[in-house]
Amino acid sequence: MSSSLTADFPVLDFTKFKHDFQAFSEDLFAASTKWGFFILRGTGVNPDSMFDLSRQFFDLPVEEKASKLLNEQTIGYDGNTVTTWAASEGMIFGTNPGGILKTEHLPAWWDQQKRERVEEFKAQCYNLSVDLLSCFAVRLGLDKDYFRRYHEHREPGNSLKLIRYPAMEERPSHKVPRLAEHTDWGSITFVFTSQNGLEIRDPDDKDWVRVPVVDDGIVVNIGDALSLWTGKALKSTMHRITWEGLPRDKSRYSIAYFVNPNYDAVLNPQPSGDPSTSAMTDELNTDLTYRDYYQLRLRLTYAVKDTKTGQRLDENIDSSTLALVNKLNVANRGTIESHMIKA
Ligand SMILES: O=C(O)CCC(=O)C(=O)O
Ligand SMILES: [Fe+2]
């Protein structure tokens, strides 16, 4: 369970994107093929006011927070259930631009002004994400908008998640981690935090290493969808938060922005600039759509309920998609199982 500090963890400077696109894309590609994770500085995206909202919201009484639970539009509160997945609570803002302004599925505390702030922050993150996607496309010899075209404002949309790993009086059952090891589902994830705790597999997949906290830095990682799309040239790296990394008596706040491809995207490998990966592309040609992958991971991870019937969706997992995903060997190890602790 050990983890160590890492000296050569990649830290990239986004100001280079404007004045030296090629060199920045090269740095980005190198970090993403070796680590699947890096820290990005100089983006100008400031999460301070989102953290203020996050602290205030999580301090509300649980009845108020949990009045709107995570739904199929990926909007709502998640955290009043005990799982083998996480000891945390999350407030998730899915859907496309404008969706948070008009949804009825938020506690009244999220007034118009707060919703506007969420939308504005999501828009800043979106813009940053498509800039990064354009770098990947060009570096892979594809046209600049290649990935962007699959990241239009269509279903399912990108999700912003406010997260608190609360301080606890005692540690829950040994089955409950702070955050179980997993890969992310989508294209790219941004994580904002000023606190330690996040650990990832090192480039040789031998050990866990700590992700450093860097001032003004966003933690960026590659998700399964972009990894599959690039014939796994870009790595979707396993990550977690342990009780050792984040002690029981400390709360940790983070904000994650999950970039999702559009549902209709087919995750077959695209030609990659890296010849070492072309050998495996045949077996990755399974015509899996992002819709199927997203729906599977949603059901496996959360006890999402159907808004109309109130039925828990994790009881309804599609076995052929599950078999396909096992074959692709993404979301690997223990993560491809439902995390609900059944009574
Ligand atoms: O809270 C963090 O630092 C990481 C969160 C994460 O990996 C996730 O929610 O997928
Ligand atoms: Fe993650």
Residue 343 lies in a domain: no
Ligand 1 atom 5: the closest Cα is on which residue? Answer: 256
CB 193 within 8 A of CB 249: no
Residue type, 314: D
Average pLDDT over residues 18-34: 97
State whether the beta carbon of 191 lies less than 6 angstroms from ligand 1. yes
The contacts of residue 17 (CB under 8 Å, 6+ apart) are 24, 131, 135
Q: Which CA distances in Å does 130 have to 10, 79, 133, 154?
A: 20, 30, 5, 14
Residue 24 lies in a domain: yes
State whether the beta carbon of 163 lies less than 6 angstroms from ligand 1. yes
Q: Which atom of ligand 1 is nearest to the CA of 165?
A: 1
For residue 28, give its domain range: 3-334
Domain total in the chain: 1
Question: Average pLDDT, whole number, for the chain?
Answer: 89
Residue of 41 and 332 predicted with greater confidence: 41
Q: Give residue 1's pLDDT band: very low, low, confident or very high (50, 70, 90).
A: very low
Average pLDDT over residues 45-68: 97
Q: Give residue 176's pLDDT band: very low, low, confident or very high (50, 70, 90).
A: confident
Q: How many helices (H) and strands (E) does the chain have?
A: 9, 13
pLDDT value of residue 161: 98
State whether the beta carbon of 232 lies less than 6 angstroms from ligand 1. no
Site to probe by mutation for ligand 1, drawn from 70, 179, 187, 221 as the one with most ligand atoms within 8 Å of Cβ, is 179
pLDDT value of residue 291: 96
220 bridge partner residues? 38, 190
State whether the beta carbon of 255 lies less than 6 angstroms from ligand 1. no
Q: Give residue 343's pLDDT band: very low, low, confident or very high (50, 70, 90).
A: very low
pLDDT value of residue 273: 56
pLDDT value of residue 244: 87
76 bridge partner residues? 92
Residue 38 lies in a domain: yes
State whether the beta carbon of 88 lies less than 6 angstroms from ligand 1. no
Residue 187 lies in a domain: yes
- Tell me the backbone φ, ψ of residue 192, rounded to 5 degrees: -105, 130
Coil/strand/helix, residue 161? strand
Tell me: the pLDDT tens digits for 115-165? 999 999 999 999 999 999 999 999 999 999 999 999 999 999 999 999 999
Residue 339 lies in a domain: no
Q: Which CA distances in Å does 60 have to 103, 107, 109?
A: 20, 11, 9
DSSP 47-97: -HHHHHHHHHHHTS-HHHHTTSB--TTSEEEE-SS-BSSBS-EEEEE-SST
Tell me: the pLDDT tens digits for 217-260? 999 999 999 999 999 999 999 999 999 888 899 899 999 999 99
Most confident of the following: 253-267, 273-287, 293-307, 318-332 = 253-267
Ligand 1 atom 6: the closest Cα is on which residue? Answer: 256
Residue 341 lies in a domain: no
pLDDT exceeding 90 applies to what percent of the chain? 67
pLDDT value of residue 342: 46
Coil/strand/helix, residue 110? coil
Residue 342 lies in a domain: no
Q: Which atom of ligand 1 is nearest to the CA of 189?
A: 10
Residue of 3 and 19 predicted with greater confidence: 19
State whether the beta carbon of 184 lies less than 6 angstroms from ligand 1. yes
Site to probe by mutation for ligand 1, drawn from 189, 221, 238, 257 as the one with most ligand atoms within 8 Å of Cβ, is 189
Distance CA 287, CA 268 (A): 6
- Report the largest interatomic distance among the alpha carbons of the chain, rounded to a whole angstrom: 57
CA angle 74-63-305, nearest 5°? 30
Distance CA 290, CA 156 (A): 9
CB 210 within 8 A of CB 251: no
Residue 254 lies in a domain: yes
* CATH number, residue 88: 2.60.120.330
Q: Provide the whole-model pTM.
A: 0.94
Q: Is the pLDDT of residue 104 over 90?
A: yes
Coil/strand/helix, residue 259? strand
Average pLDDT over residues 314-320: 77
State whether the beta carbon of 246 lies less than 6 angstroms from ligand 1. no
pLDDT value of residue 2: 47
